[in-house]
Amino acid sequence: MPSVNVYTEDDAVIQQLKELLVPLQAFVAKRLSCGELELQPREVSVRVIKPVASLMIYPLEIEMSAYAFAERVEQEDIICREVVAFLKESEPRLPDMHVWLTLSELGHSWEE
């Protein structure tokens, strides 16, 4: 299950982001789908986090984590830029942002 953590210290930005969570979840699910794996929005966890203390580089930082399928690895920088473009098109008043995509092996806690 991919996850998206959105970090900002600005309450006004948090309010803007609340309206974008469902569209962002759908966008990330579509963009991280690959091969025969078609992700559904409900399979992407999205959180907005306001740090208690931080030394953030940008006013808005987004960390995405997902399994390292080859197609994602080949497209990782493009995916990050597309998330920025999607958010800026959806809400032009959002501040400067940076997006990271961490692709790795995956373990999980549920039993089948």
Whole-prediction pTM:
0.91
CA angle 46, 49, 83 (to 5 degrees): 50
Residue 41, CA atoms < 13 Å, CB-side half-sphere: 7
Q: How far apart are CA 96 and CA 112, in angstroms?
A: 42
Question: Looking at this protein, which amino acid is placed at residue 108?
Answer: H
Which helix (H) or strand (E) covers residue 69, if one does?
Answer: none
Burial of residue 21, with CB atoms counted within 10 A of its CB: 0-12 exposed, 13-18 middle, 19 or more buried: middle
Residue from 2, 23, 3 nearest 69 by CA: 2
Q: How far apart are CA 38 and CA 13, in angstroms?
A: 30
One digit per residue, the tens of pLDDT, for the chain of length 112 reads 899 999 999 999 999 999 999 999 999 999 999 988 999 999 999 999 999 999 999 999 999 999 999 999 999 999 999 999 999 999 999 999 999 999 998 776 777 7
